[in-house]
Amino acid sequence: MSYTEYKLRLTKIADISYTAALLSWDQETYMPEKGAGFRAQQIATLSALAHGQSTSAELGDILNSLNKSGNELSEKEKRNVARSLKDYTKQKKYSTEFVERLSRTASECFQAWQKAKKENNFSLFAPLLETMVDLKKQEAELLGYEAHPYNALLDQYEPGATVAALDILFKDVREQMVDFVKQIAAVPKPDDGFMYRHYPKEKQWNHGLDLLKQMHYDFEAGRQDISIHPFTTSFNALDVRVTTKILEDNLKSMIWSCIHEGGHGLYEQGLPSGEYGLPSGEAISLGIHESQSRLWENNVGRSLPYWKANYKNLQSLYPENLGKVSLEQFYRAMNRVEPSFIRIEADELTYHFHILVRYDVEKKLIGGELKVKELPEYWNACYKEYLGVNVPSDDKGVLQDIHWSHGSFGYFPTYSLGSFYAAQFFHRASLEIKGLENQIEQGNLLPLLEWLREKIHRHGKFYSAEELCTQVTGEKLNFKYFMDYAKNKYSTIYNLKKEAV
C-alpha cells in the first residue's frame, strides 16, 4: 500500500466533494428558483458518491497499512494519514442512506428558509427545520460523544471543542464584556446617521472589489458575487469564491462583509495547492478560519490606520454623503457599540452576545430541552435578556441566519473563537512585523498577509488549532488578548476613564 495510492484516492474524493460544493455555490447565487428540486437530488447523489468513496474497504486498508508503516513516511505524511484515518473511522459510522437524506434535507431546508425569510414567516421553515434537528440528533448518536450530544457536532467544526470548555469561555464573555458594554452604553453614542443615506449599488460593488484587491485577494484565483447571506467557498486554492451583500441604505453592510469574506478567501488561497485533497491542504478548523476573517474585518478593517489610508477615496465616491464627515467621525461611527437585531451587522463587542444566544439555543435543541416550535418565543426572550432589544419580526430574529438550513449545528461558537484567536494573532503580528501600524496607514497590507501566510496558511492541518496558537503566539487561546484589545480601543473612542475600565 503506497502513499501515492492514498493521495490518488483522496484526490478523487475531493473532486466529487468540490463538484457538489460548486453546485451548492450556484444554488445560492445564480440558480433559477424552479431548479431547486433537481439540484437537491444532484447534490445528494454526489454527496452519497463521495461518502461511498470515503468509506470504502480499499481506502480503509490503505490507511491502516500506512498508519503502521512507521519511519517510511515523513512527519507531514504521517499526520495526513492519521487525520484521514480519524475521518475515515468517523465516516464509517454513517450509512449512505443517512448521508443522502441529510444532503437532500439540507437543500430542501435551504429553499424553505429562503421563502420563510422573504415572507417573514417562521412557520414555513419550521417543519423542515424540525426534520433537520432530528437528523442532527441522530448524527450525534451515530458519532458518539461524552457528556453532551452537542459535543459530537462541535467536533466537526472545531475539533476538541466541548460544551464544558465553551461554557467557561462564554462565562468570561458574560462576566467581562457585559459590564464593559454597560460602561459604553452610559456615555453618548457617536452619530452614524450618514452610514444610512443612499449609496448606489454599483458604486458599492466597485468599491468592494477595490478593497479586496488592496488585501491582495487574487481575482485570477477567485471571484466575488452577491448572495442573500455573505459567504466564502473554495474548490481548491486556485478557485476561491466570495460573496457580499449590498444594501443601498446601509454602507456598513457591504464594506465589512467584503473585508470579512476577503479574509476567509485569503486563507483558502494561501493553503498549499500541491496538497489538494489532503489534510495538509485544508484549513485547520472553523475557529482558525474565522480568526482570519475577523482579523481583517476588525483588527484591520475597523482600525484608524486602515481608514487613514482609505477614507479619502471613500469620500470622493460619495461627496454628498461623506464630504463633511471627518475621518474621526467616520472612525467613531463604524465602531459604534449598540445592541441590535442582526448578527452580521452587529458591532464587534455585542456580536458575541448574538453568538451566546445561538450557542444556548443549539445546545438546548440538540439536548432536547427546547423544541423547534418554541424557537421564536425563546429567541426573542434571549435577545431581550442579553441585548435588551425587542425583536420585531421573524426575519430580524430567528430566521436571519442561513446556518441551520444547512444543518450547521455546532458552527456558531467558532465565530467567537475566531475573534479571540484574531486578537491574539494580531497582537503577535504587531510585535513581529516592524512598523505594522504605519504600513497599514500607508495602505500596504502585504507584510501582514505574508506573515499570515508563513505563520498560519501554509501549514494546512499539520497542527491542531491549539498547537497552532501555541506555535504562533507562545500560548494557548487566551481571552485576555481580546479584552485588552477591546478596552484599549473603545476606552479611547468613548473617552472612558482607564481606572473605571
Query: Which residues are catalytically annotated?
Result: 261
Residue 271, SS3 per DSSP: coil
Distances (CA, A) of 277 to 13, 123, 131, 220: 7, 40, 31, 21
Placement of cell 484574531 in the chain: 422
Give the Cα separation of 494 and 442 in Å (integer).
26
Beta-bridged to residue 226, according to DSSP, are 244
Exposure class string for 39-57: b at 16+ Cβ within 10 A, else e = bbebbbebbbbbbebbbee
Chain centroid offset of residue 162 CA: 18
Q: Which three cell numbers stand for residue 211?
A: 478593497
Exposure class string for 223-252: b at 16+ Cβ within 10 A, else e = ebeebebbbbbbbbbebbbbbbbbeeebbb
Give the Cα separation of 479 and 296 in Å (integer).
19
Sheet containing strand 239-244, edge to edge, reads 222-226, 239-244, 232-236
Give the Cα separation of 403 and 405 in Å (integer).
5
| Residue type present at position 410 | G
DSSP string across 172-201: HIIIIIHHHHHHHHTSPPPP-GGGGS---H
- Report the alpha-carbon angle 270-296-484, nearest 5: 125
Tally Cβ neighbours within 10 Å of residue 432: 11
Q: Which of 301, 257, 287 is nearest to 456 (CA)?
A: 287
Placement of cell 484589545 in the chain: 485
